[in-house]
Structure 1
Amino acid sequence: MMVRSILTIALASLLLLTGCKQKASEQEEAKNYPLMTLKPEDKQLSVKYSAVIKGRQDVEVRPQVSGTLTQVLVKEGSPVRKGQVLFIIDQVPYKAALEKAEASVSTAEANEAIAKQNLDGKQSLFNDKVISEFELRTAKNNYKAAKASLQQALAELKDARNNLSYTEVKSPVDGYAGMTSFRIGASVSPTMTEPLVNVSDNSEMYAYFSLTEKQVLSLIAEYGTLENVLQSFPEVSLELNDGSMYSKTGKIDVISGIIDKTTGTVSMRAIFNNEDRMLMSGGQANIVISYKKPDCIVIPQGATYDIQNRIFAYKVVDGKTVSTPIEVFEINDGADYIVESGLQEGDIIVSEGADLLKEGVSVSTEKKEI
């Protein structure tokens, strides 16, 4: 009997000790989880769109006449001016064609003058009733034919002069020359598929990107017209392909207003100053559009956990954790969420380590992170 009593007392003591340790452990665990009281705040957000960068003018310089290159004057990568000669095509045959055209004009002018004199003489004879009307009409027709021959010769002379001028291949714009694979002796023609060189005006660069039809319609609903959308759009930033941010901001200056039937998107263009030539035509980048979301509830991502693609947070109610499903707006900073439903101002939540907690854990609310 005495032994049984001693065992009962020992068992009770052991259970009491275990319960105390468990309670102390729970209290210690609760103290390791910081809390925060939710309150609305204005959050600065940004959204990114893939973009292609192009120069203000990217011009393919092509020959307008056929021949052999006799001079290559362009320096690859160097600045060029509008009208600057970049290549010279063999001019000998075109100079000969010009001389021939000039001679043809001289001959046609002489024939036209003779025909005019003959017509004047025939007119006098006809007036004196010496010749018939048929002879006068013949003289008139001969004069018309001579005039037409002169006009044709003049047109051929103009073509010959133009063709000779085209042997000097000039830059159509100010900009920077690209690379060229053509050297002296290369045969070129207007039908060739490859341009002699590209000239890019990179003083300003265009970044082309797209918004969905739904996004554009939302903007039009907010601002009324596409023109108002353009005027109201904030300045945009450019994230370069290496992840760095371009030092200058840009302005959206064009919205196409046409929906691409294949992608269902609307093309847009932002313009950036490029005086330092850091941006290169053909590059890839991201357009970053910043905007403010006012009076929203922002919580750390560490305050949430996922179950079957649903997001939960632990709200503290009467000193215990309560698992609460929430809807969030994901922020692309990798740190926070904006809560759209499930939590409200004044709620207290566990702000870190939610994935390590369980329902109903006792939490002390004497000290809270705000």
Structure 2
Amino acid sequence: MNIRKLAISTTLCLFFITGCDSAEMAETPSTPAKTKVVIKTLGTEDIYSVRDFPARITAVKTAQIRPQVGGIIQKRLFRQGSEIREGQALFQIDAAPFEADVEMANAAVAKAKATYQQMSSRAYRFSKLQKNAAISQQDLDDAKAASAQAAAELAEATASLNRKKLDLNYATVKAPISGRVDQEFVTEGALVSPGDTQAMAVIQQLDRVYVDARVPSQALRSLYQFNDAAPAGQSGVTAVVLDDEGRPYDTPARLLFSGMSVNDETGDVVLRAEVENPQRTLLPGMFVKLQITRLIEKEGMAIPEQAINRAEDKTTVWIVGQDNKAKRVEIQTGEQTAKGITVTAGLKAGDKIVIEGQDKLQEGAEVTARPDETQLAS
């Protein structure tokens, strides 16, 4: 009997407990969890496009020193690797043969001058005599022709003398430009001639150098397109030369021009810049990078690419309003930059865009927003 009463009491207790739990569950409504997202508050700033292109250094001027007369090199008159002034003597070719030629040419000029004076005086006398009919017209004509021929021979001898003097001057090989001279390629005692294929030395002007970059033809248009953001009279494009580790050189570069044709194999165009090189740190043949910075928009906005959703020909982002609820807005984007993709329409300064967690969002969903740590650090 006692066992039966105990079982009934236990059953009643369990029923009462279950009923209480059910009532509590019925009275407590279910609350959906808030979606956690990371947001970035938009601000305005000057937006730049920065691109690096492979480039190579070339000298502004390069002169291959070659002989203009033949002979034996007697002396080298410069120090290899030194700075050379325009007109400075570099090599001395044996001048003895040219000096002898000049003396012979001087003698020929003297002889031609004496003949000319004789023929000229004869023609003058004949012209006086012909007035008195003392000589025939034929004799006068012959005298005048002889005088003219003597004058031509004098001019020829004078021209030959000038040429011989020029050859004598060429025996001293001089620098046609100022710059740094490289090593000598011929030594003292070598025989040289104007037809040699080997240069005697090479001079390169290095106080300024060219930077020739290979730029894809598609990118060239954006570099030179009209930019409203640039100040009046300026292109808004600047250039800097970087070394192989990405460190900039001290001197700025000035863009000169772009090539007129596209390479058939690579699709690239040559973009040339000029750089002051007072320390001679940039040498011809060096491989560098030409960094082109272009002002896209003043007081513009750029957003991270991961915040953008593209679907059905629409570009949208999620923003969080003052009520902490998510809202999808359609935007228009511009160029890709180092700070992100520019926004041309659809957003304003102060908007809070979602950059992480947007794949779980629904329109009007309440969120728990956390600021981007990189934005806080900046």
| TM-score, length basis structure 1 | 0.72
Q: Please tell me whether residue 273 in structure 1 is matched to residue 281 in structure 2.
A: no
d(CA) in 2 for partners of 1:193 and 1:241? 35
**Match of residue 247 from structure 1:** 250
Q: How far apart in 1 are the matches of 2:103 and 2:315?
A: 85
| Contact 2:237–2:295 (CA under 8 A) maintained in structure 1 | no
Q: Distance in 1 between matches of 2:318 and 2:206?
A: 54
Report the count of equivalent residues.
341
Letter in 1 for 2:353: I
Aligned to 1:198: 202
| Letter matched to residue 367 of structure 2 | S
- Counterpart code for 2:241: E
Partner of 2:169: 165
Partner Cα separation in structure 2 for residue 129 and residue 117 of structure 1: 19
Please tell me whether residue 143 in structure 1 is matched to residue 151 in structure 2.
Answer: no
Moved more, 89-98 or 52-61: 52-61
Which residue matches 2:74?
Answer: 70
Give, as a single letter, the amino acid of the residue that structure 1 aligns with 2:226.
S
Letter in 1 for 2:238: V
Offset from partner CA, 1:105-163 (integer Å, 9 cap, x none)? 12212222222333344344434433222112111111111111110000000001011
Query: TM-score normalised to the size of structure 2?
Result: 0.71
Q: Which whole-Å deviations, capped at 9, do the CAs of 1:279-299 have from their partners, x for residues lacking one?
A: 223444304234262343322
Structure 1 residues 42 and 214, CA gap change in structure 2 (3 angstroms) = closer
* Equivalent residues in 2 for 1:203-352, closer than 5 Å: 203-208=207-212, 212=220, 216=224, 218=226, 231-233=233-235, 236-242=238-244, 243-252=246-255, 254-255=256-257, 260-262=260-262, 270-283=273-286, 284-291=288-295, 293-301=297-305, 303=307, 313-316=317-320, 328-333=333-338, 336-340=340-344, 343-345=347-349, 347-352=351-356
Cα separation, partners in 2 of 1:139 and 1:178, compared to 1, 3 Å: same
Residue 119 of structure 2: which of 115, 119, 123 is its match?
Answer: 115
Which sits farther off after the overlay, 72-81 or 204-213?
Answer: 204-213
1:261–1:206 CA distance, 2 compared to 1 (3 A): closer
* CA 1:44–1:339: 2 relative to 1, 3 Å: closer
**CA separation in 2, counterparts of 1:57 and 1:251?**
17
1:314 CA displacement: 4.5
Q: Which has the larger radius of gyration?
A: 2
SS at match of 1:232: coil
For structure 1, the 5+ residue unaligned runs are: none
Query: How far has the Cα of 1:168 moved from its partner?
Result: 1.2
Shift of residue 167, structure 1, vs aligned partner: 1.6
Structure 1 residue 319 displacement after superposition: 5.4
Partner of 1:59: 63
Inter-partner Cα distance in structure 1 for 2:238 and 2:130: 84
Instruction: Choose from 131, 139, 147 the match for 2:135.
Output: 131
Secondary structure of the residue that 1:181 maps to in structure 2?
coil
Task: For 2:290 and 2:58, locate their aligned partners in 1 and report how far apart those are by CA, in whole Å.
Answer: 13
Establish whether residue 86 from structure 1 lines up as the match of residue 90 from structure 2.
yes
- Pair 1:298–1:213, CA change in 2 (3 A): closer
CA deviations on 1:316-338 (whole Å, 9 max, x unpaired) are 477566777866445443x5332
Contact 2:76/2:188 (<8 A) preserved = yes
CA contact (8 A) 2:47 2:299 kept: no
The one-letter code matched in structure 2 to 1:200 is Q
Matched residue, 1:358: 360
Cα distance, 1:235 vs structure 2: 7.4
| Deviations 1:211-249 (CA, angstroms, capped at 9, x unpaired) | 745754536x999xxxx98x4245734232412112122
Match of 1:165, SS state, is: helix
Q: Distance in 2 between matches of 1:282 and 1:367?
A: 52
1:195 to partner: Cα distance: 3.5
Other structure's SS at 1:129 match: coil
Answer yes or no: is the 8 Å Cα contact 1:320–1:360 preserved in 2.
Answer: no
Taking a change above 3 Å as real, the CA distance of residues 294 and 120 of structure 1, as seen in their structure-2 partners, is closer
